[in-house]
Amino acid sequence: MKITHVLAIGAAALSVAACTTNPITGRSSLQIANNSEILTMSAQEYKTTLSSSKVITGTADAKRVVSVGNRIKSAAEKYYQSIGRSADLASYNWEFNLLQSNELNAWCMPGGKVAVYSGILPVTKNDNGLAVVMGHEVSHALAGHGNERISQAMVAQYGGSILGSTISNAQLAGIFEKAYPIGSQVALLKYGRNQESEADKMGLYLMSMAGYDPREAIPFWNRMEASSTGNKQPQFLSTHPNPETRISDIQKNLPQALEYYKAAGGKI
């Protein structure tokens, strides 16, 4: 058998063995990295980033970030419990922080480490707009996008050699550092286009489950797009679908989101 055939078979077997299916969107992804190690590194990196940033606490805006984040997180936990997958979330240790920065940005690291920059709040305008952002970021964590990104890098770097074995902690740490830059550079982290689209969809559903009006998603994304200056987009939009595709996808997913919103007590 040719080596290329062996590698192809190995890659296929690896994909089948480590395929993870998102219970909300139905999307499957390759997640083969050691999740425990990823969460440990994520927690440390998040702590380092906060220590080098100005964290806003005690203000109305800071409390809103925590409140909206926790409400969406709780809705997700309720949903996962309803489908018998509470164990999926057992290792999450959620944190929601507001950081002082003029950037229109927010980000999430594995395990539920979320940061919102104060510069995006004038664009969110209200709790519904903030819920669009927070739902999107919570979704990155719940969907395991960090593990997926790292797994893709592992396969690209080590190929079929990782089949049936594991890479060292040092090798994993090296990949993690490339995926999640240190300190303030973490604001530059980018998820793939498919991951961003999934976070849009999943976030829309989660905010609805939490009782936030999903119809506010379209005005929010329009405001974000309008905030672009010249050819420069806010970092938050850098790897997102183009505006037309995003709005079209939201409109397609809105009927299901409204069902979740109605079930949560929202008025249609």
| Residue 75, CA distances (Å) to 67, 69, 197, 209 in order | 12, 10, 20, 6
Beta bridge mates, 114: 96, 108
CB contact set of 157 (below 8 Å; sequence gap of 6+): 175
Residue 123's alpha-carbon distances to 25, 114, 133, 214, 232, in angstroms, are: 27, 18, 10, 16, 16
Selection from 175, 169, 170 nearest residue 149 by Cα = 175
Strand partners, 95: 113
**30 φ/ψ angles, rounded to the nearest 5 degrees:** -85, 120
Catalytic residues: 137
DSSP 242: P
